């Protein structure tokens, strides 16, 4: 069992990580003085696997519990589904001393967190992330949101959970493709902040792929620790939190231009990280071996480097529309060496075009 503290003054909380740790959810919530009623939000895949178990655990701990399960997938991260949740919350009489628990991946976490942040101007929120991506990224740091038909995550808030409980055993039922997607975000933490973690991935990649519990706990712990440190320095993303977007500029363009269906987020981030590494090398910021190390680890974790279905001219407008664009300039997170990144908002278009040509052609530079 491992614990990571997120120190944000009155909004501080602890992330508990371990095998089978979900069994303690009742005690952990009682210890936080969360009592009264609980609305668990999940999706149909996850609630079938773990819904009854978590409902029973909380009922046995004395809570009045209801489970609301949404359809799996990004479409559930909507105002329409949030409205259904508000209705259920009103019907079951949730008040400011009640809690909303997210049991699922990033879709459920973002949706439930958005409802927790806004219903009655905010009630206690608990995250039980069940995908690797949610365990190392979306459940930590307090970004909650729903989508608008004109763009992803456009309606949201910064709203920290009171508690995060990460049970690595839940990853045993996760489809492989979702596991690899989560690994993409873990690689990102190594590249942006920790060469030792990056080397740990190389040395332990076989154990990681077979979900060896000790190794998995260690990488999740370290990724949460890195994310916590970044969020503690810059909760509202005015400066250093931007480094978490390494690989995400090209990734967002790939996802949006292919209708969010061809590549999942982690796959798009893998291609985006390779693109960002190539760009860093092209700008003279890093040595060639940095690009080679990054592409090697991406391939080891069964993730793609190229998006041959995408066209440069289709991707370019999406880069300009990226949320992180300020004053018409795209802010690029670039790598100088593994563990060290820099922000650059002055990259000439011809260089970006050249990089996009490389990641859309299935051939290594």
Binding piece for ligand GLY, criterion CB under 6 A, among 42-50, 109-117, 137-145, 311-319: 137-145
Question: For residues 97-126, which are near ligand NAD according to CB under 6 A?
Answer: 104-108, 110
The CB-side HSE value for 146 (13 A sphere, CA atoms) comes to 20
**185 a catalytic residue:** yes
The pair of structure tokens assigned to 245 is 């977007």
**16 a catalytic residue:** no
Least distance between ligand NAD and beta carbon 301 (Å): 15
Least distance between ligand NAD and beta carbon 8 (Å): 15
Count of residues that bind ligand NAD according to CB under 6 A:
30
Binding piece for ligand GLY, criterion CB under 6 A, among 80-88, 194-202, 237-245, 264-272: 237-245
Any idea of the CA torsion for 260, 262, 268, 272, to the nearest 10 degrees? -110
The reply to whether 134 sits near ligand GLY by the rule CB under 6 A is no
- The single residue of 37, 77, 265, 324 carrying the catalytic annotation is 265
The reply to whether 182 sits near ligand GLY by the rule CB under 6 A is no
The reply to whether 275 sits near ligand NAD by the rule CB under 6 A is no
Cβ–Cβ under 8 Å, residues 205 and 301: yes
Orientation angle between helical segments 312-321 and 248-257, nearest 10 degrees: 120
The reply to whether 164 sits near ligand NAD by the rule CB under 6 A is no
Question: For residues 28-47, which are near ligand NAD according to CB under 6 A?
Answer: 43, 45-46
The reply to whether 265 sits near ligand NAD by the rule CB under 6 A is yes
**77 a catalytic residue:** no
Sole binder of ligand GLY in the list 37, 143, 221, 222 (CB under 6 A): 143
Nearer to ligand NAD, 222 or 265 (CB): 265
The reply to whether 241 sits near ligand GLY by the rule CB under 6 A is yes
Residue 219: CB atoms within 10 A of its CB come to 25
Least distance between ligand GLY and beta carbon 140 (Å): 8
**248 a catalytic residue:** yes
The reply to whether 360 sits near ligand NAD by the rule CB under 6 A is no
- The single residue of 77, 241, 264, 267 carrying the catalytic annotation is 241
The reply to whether 133 sits near ligand NAD by the rule CB under 6 A is yes
Least distance between ligand NAD and beta carbon 365 (Å): 28
SS (HEC) of the chain: CEEEEECCHHHCEEEEEECCHHHHHHHHHHHCCCCCEEEEEEEHHHHHHHHHHHHHHHHHCCCEEEEEEECCCHHHCCHHHHHHHHHHHHHCCCCCCCEEEEEECHHHHHHHHHHHHHHHHCCEEEEEECCHHHHHHHCCCCEEEEEECCEEEEEEEECCCCEEEEEHHHHHHCCHHHHHHHHHHHHHHHHHHCHHHHHHHHHCHHHHHCCCHHHHHHHHHHHHHHHHHHHHHCCCCCCHHHHHHCCHHHHHHHHHHCCCCCCCHHHHHHHHHHHHHHHHHHCCCCCHHHHHHHHHHHHHCCCCCCCCCCCHHHHHHHHHHCCCCECCECCEEEEEECCEEEEECCCCHHHHHHHHHHHHCCCCC
The reply to whether 137 sits near ligand NAD by the rule CB under 6 A is yes
The reply to whether 84 sits near ligand NAD by the rule CB under 6 A is no
**162 a catalytic residue:** no
Nearer to ligand GLY, 58 or 231 (CB): 231
**300 a catalytic residue:** no
Instruction: Show which residues are catalytic.
Output: 121, 143, 185, 227, 237, 241, 245, 248, 252, 265
Binding footprint of ligand NAD on the chain (CB under 6 A): 43, 45-46, 49, 72-74, 77, 104-108, 110, 130-131, 133-134, 137-138, 141, 143, 152-153, 170, 173-174, 178, 181, 265
Binding footprint of ligand GLY on the chain (CB under 6 A): 137, 141, 143, 237, 241, 244
């Amino acid at each position: 069992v491992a614990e990571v503290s997120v120190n944000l003054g009155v909004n501080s909380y602890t992330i508990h990580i371990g095998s089978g740790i979900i069994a303690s959810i009742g005690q952990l919530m009682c210890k936080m003085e969360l009592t009264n009623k609980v609305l668990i939000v999940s999706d149909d895949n996850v609630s079938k696997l773990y819904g009854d178990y978590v409902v029973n655990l909380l009922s046995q701990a004395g809570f009045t519990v209801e489970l609301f399960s949404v359809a799996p997938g990004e479409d559930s991260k909507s105002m329409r589904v949030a409205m259904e949740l508000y209705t259920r919350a009103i019907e079951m009489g949730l008040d400011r001393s009640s809690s909303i628990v997210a049991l699922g991946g990033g879709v459920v976490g973002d949706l439930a967190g958005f409802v927790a942040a806004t219903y009655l101007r905010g009630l206690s929120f608990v995250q039980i992330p069940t995908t690797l991506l949610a365990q190392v990224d979306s459940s930590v740091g307090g970004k909650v949101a729903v989508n608008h038909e004109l763009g992803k995550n456009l309606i949201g808030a910064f709203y920290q959970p009171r508690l995060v409980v990460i049970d690595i055993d839940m990853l045993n039922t996760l489809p492989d493709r979702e596991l690899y997607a989560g690994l993409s975000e873990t690689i990102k933490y190594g590249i942006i902040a920790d060469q030792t973690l990056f080397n740990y991935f190389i040395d332990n990649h076989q154990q990681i792929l077979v979900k060896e519990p000790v190794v998995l706990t260690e990488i999740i712990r370290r990724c949460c620790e890195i994310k916590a440190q970044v969020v503690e320095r810059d909760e509202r993303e005015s400066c250093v939190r931007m480094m978490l977007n390494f690989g995400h500029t090209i990734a967002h363009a790939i996802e949006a231009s292919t209708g969010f269906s061809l590549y999942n987020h982690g796959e798009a981030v893998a291609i985006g990280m390779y693109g960002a590494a190539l760009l860093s090398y092209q700008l003279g910021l890093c040595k060639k071996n940095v690009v080679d190390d990054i592409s090697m680890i991406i391939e080891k974790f069964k993730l793609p480097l190229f998006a041959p279905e995408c066209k440069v001219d289709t991707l370019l407008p999406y880069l300009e529309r990226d949320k992180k664009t300020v004053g018409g300039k795209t802010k690029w997170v670039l790598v100088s060496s593994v563990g060290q990144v820099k922000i650059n908002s002055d990259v000439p278009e011809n260089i970006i075009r050249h990089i996009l040509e490389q990641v859309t052609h299935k051939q290594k530079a």
